[in-house]
Amino acid sequence: MPRCHWRVELVGIAVVLATLLVPGVAHAHAVGTSRGEYALQGRTLTVRLLFARAELVSLLPELDGDRDGSVSDRELRAAWPGLTDAIVARITFDAAAGTCRGTLQDAALEEGDGLSIGAAYLCTSDPQTLAATLGFLDLLPHGHRHLAAVAAGASGNTGRSVAPGIAYIGHAQLTITGTASNGLWAAMGLGRQAGRVFRLGVTRVLTEPDHLVFLIALLLVGGRSRSLLFALMAFAVGHAITLALSAIGGLSPIAALVGPAIALSVAYVGAENWFVTSADGRWLVAFPFGLTHGLGFAGSLQQMPLAPSQMPLALATLTGGAEAGQIAVVLVALPLVLLCRRLCCQQPRVADRVLKAASAVIAVVGLWWFVNRIV
Amino acid sequence: MRTRHLLWMVLTCAAIAGCHARPPSAASESRDLCLAEPDGGAPVDDAIRHTQGQARKLPTEPHSWSLVGQGWVRKARMTTDPGFYVNVRACAEAALVVAPNNRAALQLRGLALMNDHRFEEARGVADDILSREPNDALTLGVQSDALLELGRFDEAAAASQRMVDVHPDMASYSRAAYFRWLEGDTDHAKLFMRYALNGRDIQDREPTAWTFVQAATMYWNEGDYEGADAVLAEALKWAPDYAPALVGRGRVAISLKRPQQAIDYLDKAYAKSPLPETAWLLGDAREMVGDHAGAAKEYARVLRDGRATDRLTLGLFLATKGLEPEEALRLIDTERKTRGGVYLDDAYAWALYRTGRIGDARTASDQALRLGTRDARLLYHAGAIRLAAGDVQGRDLIRQALRLNPRFDWTASNEASRMLADATLSLAR
């Protein structure tokens, strides 16, 4: 649930500012960056790498054999064996892949100061997933970063690359999943991935106090089970609608408004508990507040590398997780509220006062969050 | 019930008003790189993870991306791994997709550009921010650093002065100290360094360690090796195994003729941060103990890494060792296309000297001395060039260099002593 921790952030900025302001640590050299695209189809892994020429020259001085500061096509052709040894042969794989023999397919000078290398690896087995070690990184200068993108999508249907990773010395492992499967979900195992999204939904509900407090406030007022159920369902439906809209509908919450609005919803329900005696008709309030709370989940799916075709399933799973979390809250909180009422059944005034006091606390907490989020 | 219906309508409208057409989300690659796992268990890694969580929750809030970027800057500094600026740049771009004029994101972009040695662009970014926020201290720092790298000393010093005026703290005072030192005003440089260190913050240790390293360098440049070593030891208390401090101690140990100790420090430093400069010092230390093969290996590292990323250090290395003079000149000349300053002028002068172009070397050397910097290397180079041009005043400069910092470089200080002896002898004749 998005909240604008402006105060915390301002403190963070103040601390970080001190670091940023001090003259830089002497990074006397510029950082080199290379890129790689990796696509595994069947037994063949194709790799396209793009380097800055200066970095490869430092690795293979023969690329600039005449020492004129530039790489010519002739020098590049002459350096093929060196490129094979320094780059192609230094990408190695785990034993599960059997033996994968790599060959340099092409090397070309690219626009600017780029130099691209194409290589293909033929493996003896038919791996679903390859664990590669990019050993060439050991030869590149300190600070070098390799941006690796693994192609996904059935036989290149989408041409989309997922989960670009960043590899560098000491972190040179790369997991490459075969493109025979359909995208990340299939690649990682549908069940496992769905479980991950489901857990995300549950966790988001259970770790966000304003969500929990709102649900408890709804329950505190008591009343007929059917009315309570209606209110909870209306909240869940509203929540699911905006979650879906924000995930696939091209809508996005205004973060600065949503956080305070959620806080106000908590304060409102806490305050309203003083004036209502049952949950009858409360769905009318729970539904729009559900819409507001759902906006708080907007960022959840954006962190996951999902193809558009995978979005409905992910959304359904995330919503299912969120609702499961809410049910868990209800299952814990409702018996406690009922127990409280039962214990005080001889003295309904006491029960009323206890619940009103709790509602007042909730209202104050909601107002506190509201102020905190707008200051 | 009517009131409730009214309330229902109001709240629903409000919820819908909370939505708007989605602003452009951060470009996918930038977002992914910004949100990359920091791979570590240090407090800075935890802080990055925390802010990444915020950015995931608030992807349309530019500030959340900037906070992650600031965390990556801290990690880059703590680890002395400039590669993390790739993440910094990604966070800046992620924030700027959402809000193209976001100041914090532009500052991060400026820092990343500085790290990429794109000084002119960094200056442009700083100018842009300062046109809207003239007193932004961080941006004044970026502007000052960029101008200094571009060789525009006076403007850089003015930006630094404004920074001190706006925000007198460790960052601004340490910059002011460096400017004073470049101008040869070592007393004020040390005074400002003390002011800077008065602002040390136990919560944020790396900047303090860095400032101690800078202070130690001033002592070393004056030949106070024991003092420099003590200050560097203090730096290591603030940030254990801090590579710049280890390199400093290695350099001091070489000056104190304790090569084995130097190797220990420099090996550790190189393992953490394998820079050409460190390999150069390691090579010198190994030469001092007679490990010629080990030294050759280190020097090969200087050549390999310098060619890829640090032309200035490589050019100066080649010129200092008297190797491949034309190549040294080419490297430094290439570097001059993107930056300037007295140290670059000095390296250029020395490379020209090695190629025998004494007239041009003299001109460049005059430029290198224009601020009055009290650095033995600059003085020695200037002296040697003047002697080669037939100017006997060169002898005084070399003597001055050796008096100031007798063992400023294992190769060069020996060479300077020989040159001074020869010059004195020939004058006596």
Beta-strand pair A100-109/A91-93? unpaired
Question: Are the CB atoms for B81 and B273 separated by under 8 Å?
Answer: yes
- DSSP-derived secondary structure letter, A141: P
- State the pLDDT at residue B417: 95
User: If we measure between CA atoms, which residue out of B327, B266, B322 comes closest to residue B298?
Assistant: B266
- Side-chain-side CA neighbours of A15 within 13 Å: the count stands at 16
User: Considering Cα of A19, then A25, then A30, then A35, what sign does the dihedral take?
Assistant: negative
How far apart are the CA of B175 and the nearest CA of chain A, in angstroms? 7
- Closest CA–CA distance from residue A251 to any residue of chain B (Å): 5
Q: Does A161 contact chain B (CB < 8 Å)?
A: no
Contact residues on chain A for B146, CB-CB shorter than 8 A: none
Q: Rounded CA gap, B241 and B260, in Å?
A: 18
Does A144 reach chain B within 8 Å, measured CB to CB? yes
Chain A CB within 8 Å of residue B121 CB: no
Asked if B36 lies within 8 A of A166 by C-beta distance, the reply is: yes
| Separation of alpha carbons A76 and A68, rounded Å | 14
**CB proximity under 8 Å: A 333-372 to B:** none
CB pair distance less than 8 Å for B304 and A59:
yes
Distance CA B135, CA B207 (A): 22
CB contact under 8 A, B307 and A168: no
Q: Is B62 on the interface with A (CB under 8 A)?
A: no
Query: Is the minimum CB–CB distance between A73 and chain B shorter than 8 Å?
Result: no
B204 CA: distance to closest CA in chain A (Å): 7
For chain B, positions 81-120, list CB contacts with chain A under 8 A: 81-83, 85-87, 104, 107, 111, 114-117
Q: pLDDT tens, A181-193?
A: 444 455 455 666 6
Nearest to A205 by CA among A257, A240, A246, A251: A240
A239, A287 contact by CB (below 8 A): no
Residue B245 CA to residue B241 CA, distance in Å, equals: 8
Question: Best residue in B13, B29, B57 to probe A by mutation, most A CBs within 10 Å?
Answer: B57
Question: Cβ–Cβ of A299/B305 closer than 8 Å?
Answer: no
CA–CA min distance B343, chain A (Å): 13
Determine if the pTM surpasses 0.90. no
Q: Which residues in chain B show pLDDT less than 70?
A: 1-27
Please tell me if residue B54 touches chain A, with a CB cutoff of 8 Å: yes
Query: Closest approach of chain B CAs to the CA of A24, in angstroms?
Result: 8
**Inter-chain residue contact A252 with B312, CB threshold 8 Å:** no
> Do A14 and A310 form a contact (C-beta atoms < 8 A)?
no
The rounded distance, in Å, linking the Cα atoms of A50 and A338 is 66
- Give the DSSP per-residue string, B380-415: HHHHHHHHHTT-THHHHHHHHHHHH-TTS-HHHHHH
CB contact under 8 A, B18 and A258: yes
Model pLDDT, residue A97: 64
**The pLDDT value given to residue B8:** 59
Q: Does A261 touch chain B (CB under 8 A)?
A: yes
Residue A68, min C-alpha distance to chain B (Å):
9
- The answer to whether the CB atoms of A18 and B172 lie below 8 A apart is no
| pLDDT in the model for residue B316 | 96
Tell me which residues of chain B, numbers 178 to 217, contact chain A at a CB-CB cutoff of 8 Å. 178, 201, 203-204, 206-207, 210-211, 214
Residue B174 near residue B192, CB atoms below 8 Å: yes
Cβ neighbours, 10 Å, residue A304: 19
**What is the longest distance spanned by two Cα atoms in chain B?**
115
Tokens of A284: 């009318």
How much is the pLDDT for A247? Answer: 65
Which range has highest mean pLDDT (A194-208, A323-337, B243-257)? B243-257
B1 and A CB contact within 8 Å:
yes
Is B408 in a helix, a strand, or coil? coil
Task: Report the DSSP beta bridge partners of residue A129.
Answer: A177
User: How far A165 CA lies from chain B's nearest CA (Å)?
Assistant: 7
Contact list, A299 vs chain B (CB under 8 Å): 56-59
From A142, A284, A303, residue closest to B8, measured CB to CB: A284
Indicate yes or no: CB of B309 within 8 angstroms of CB of A33: no
Q: Does B139 touch chain A (CB under 8 A)?
A: no
Please give the pLDDT value at position A1: 36
Closest residue in A to B29 (Cα–Cα): A164
Q: Which residues of A touch B307 (CB under 8 A)?
A: 54, 57-58, 61
Indicate the residue of B35, B82, B307 with minimum beta-carbon distance to A143: B82
Q: Tell how strand A161-167 and strand A173-177 pair up.
A: unpaired
Residues of A in contact with B70 (CB under 8 A): 12-13, 16, 19-20
Determine the average pLDDT of the residues in A306-330: 76
State the Cα–Cα distance between residues B428 and B422, nearest whole angstrom. 10
Does A323 contact chain B (CB < 8 Å)? no
Using a CB-CB cut-off of 8 Å, the residues of chain A touching B77 are 19, 24-25
Neighbours of A268 (CB within 10 A): 20
Q: CA B36 to CA B32: how far, in whole Å?
A: 6
- Locate all alpha helices (DSSP H) within B167-239, ordered by sequence: 170-182, 186-198, 205-221, 225-238
Any chain A CB within 8 A of the CB of B18? yes
* Residue numbers of B between 361 and 420 with CB closer than 8 Å to A: none
Per-residue model confidence (pLDDT) at position A216: 84
With an 8 Å Cβ cutoff, is B158 touching chain A? no
Select from B374, B309, B385 the least CA-distant residue to B348. Answer: B385
Higher pLDDT, B314 or A17: B314
Q: Sorting pLDDT into bands at 50, 70 and 90, what band is A180?
A: very low
pLDDT value at A17 more than 80: no
Distance from CA of B364 to the nearest CA of A (A): 22
What are the tokens at B260? Answer: 């084995």
Amino acid sitting at position B148: L
Can you give the pLDDT at residue B388? 95
- Chain B residues whose beta carbon lies within 8 Å of the beta carbon of residue A295: 15, 18-19
> Residue A272: closest CA among chain B residues belongs to which residue?
B4
Shortest Cα distance, chain B CAs vs residue A287, angstroms: 8
pLDDT over 90 percentage in chain A: 8
The answer, for A250 touching chain B at a CB cutoff of 8 Å, is yes
- The residue with greater pLDDT, A352 or B360, is B360
Looking at the predicted complex, does its ipTM rise above 0.90? no
Q: Which residues of A touch B273 (CB under 8 A)?
A: 142
Q: Are A92 and A135 a contacting pair, CB within 8 Å?
A: yes
Q: Which of B29, B207, B244 sits opposite A18 (nearest CB)?
A: B207
User: Rounded CA gap, B429 and B426, in Å?
Assistant: 5
Is A52 in contact with A35 (CB distance < 8 Å)?
no
- For residue A160, pLDDT over 80 is answered with no
Contact between A144 and A168 (Cβ < 8 Å): yes
> In a mutagenesis test of the B interface, which of A60, A142, A300 is the best target, namely the one with the most B β-carbons within 10 Å?
A142
Crossing angle (nearest 10°) for helices B62-79 and B85-98: 170
Q: Hey, are the CB atoms on B54 and A20 less than 8 Å from each other?
A: no
